[in-house]
Chain A
Amino acid sequence: MSIVNKPGAISTWYLPGILSGLWLTLKYMIRNLFDKKKMPTLNYPEEVYQYGPRFKGNHILTVKKDGSIRCTACMLCATNCPAQCISIVAAESADQRVEKYPIKYEIDILRCVFCGYCEEACPVDAVRMGPEWQTAGLNGSSFSYDIQHLAYRPQLKGGILSRVDDEERHKFGI
């Protein structure tokens, strides 16, 4: 649908248009002065907007019950990542039931496009995208998230438990 606005005679006068614009500004300014609650803007960074829990923001690496990292270093997230921002180095675990785990898991958040494919590809619910969305940092290295940050940053309060439990898996012999 296209709307064609034919310039009428009044619009060529300009002044009514300018005045109506100024009136709108003035109206909101006065309203905000008296009723702060209705004000839609936030005073970032003092005030931070909270998105819903399903918002796909910063990555989280989940942990097992014993607090160790859930990721098995299968590299499906890295394989699937269209921005190629995940880099993983796997190693052999001393625990034979774990076998393989990541010794390095880094996400270059500046390259990440927050598409969510990593979360989708993960077979063990090890990587999730959480509601945090602030990625500001002071230097380059703060945009490269390592395991420490992804799994154990203070905001996560000791780590998020993975839904896929190895013990259960071993018990049922799957």
Chain B
Amino acid sequence: MATRQTSTLARFMMAPSVILLFIWMIVPLAMTLWFSFQNYNLLNPANVSFAGLFNYKFFYTDPAFFQSIWNTLVLVVGVLLITVIGGIALALLLDQPMFGQGIVRILVISPFFVMPPVAALVWKNMIMHPGYGVFADFAKFFGAQPVDWFAQFPLFSIIIIVAWQWLPFATLILLTALQSLDGEQKEAAEMDGAGIVSRFIYLTIPHISRAVTVVILIQTIFLLGVYAEILVTTNGGPGYASTNLPFLIYRTALLGYDVGGASAGGIIAVILANIVAFFLMRAVGKNLDK
């Protein structure tokens, strides 16, 4: 009896989110799909006509298309690597007893509070600028040639900026998970003579694996859409070195005002993102079943 009641209730409780999200997904998606088959430039609204698949072909044949997909993946994977590994290390460190723990924690998570455009501006001009950034000042102090970050390592520079913003999120989630690790369990393992390394591998890692999964999934969603940081720092250049898929769509949508092309790009991005998500689920999704 309880089961049936529970499952009916469960559906009833889930309904609002599911319905809302369904509408939220389907309405813009349908409109985007519709626009993607139209010749529609916002600045020339008189000339709207049916375009067939031309917008898709046009977007797909863009000279920057394949590189932008590659850059998108590099950006996502690069940031994930830095934030997950760095996040675990930081979470382990913050979990230790220390003086001023509260202040340290707030300092570490504070980049998360900074709006992305501000973060990009600060990094670009105050930290990484080869003329008057802090890095350059240090390089000159040690007599080295300042690195021209955005010209020599455009994508890497953006990865650093984005990773800096997301590291706190990973740290926070992982720290939360670490703290739920039973103190008794830890002590028992210690008593058994398990070393730090084996305790980490056999106790900590399995315990936080679901949290890691959540970090990866949620961050991936956000990272697939990064473009504000690129806009502020390199504008996708030099060449197409830092052009990712969202930036390509931005260029089509808000510089070219090509609604048809941008819609086609959006649909392509959704399809690719779902492919990524599919493989991601196969790779890490099993952690959710435990």
**A and B: interacting chains:** no
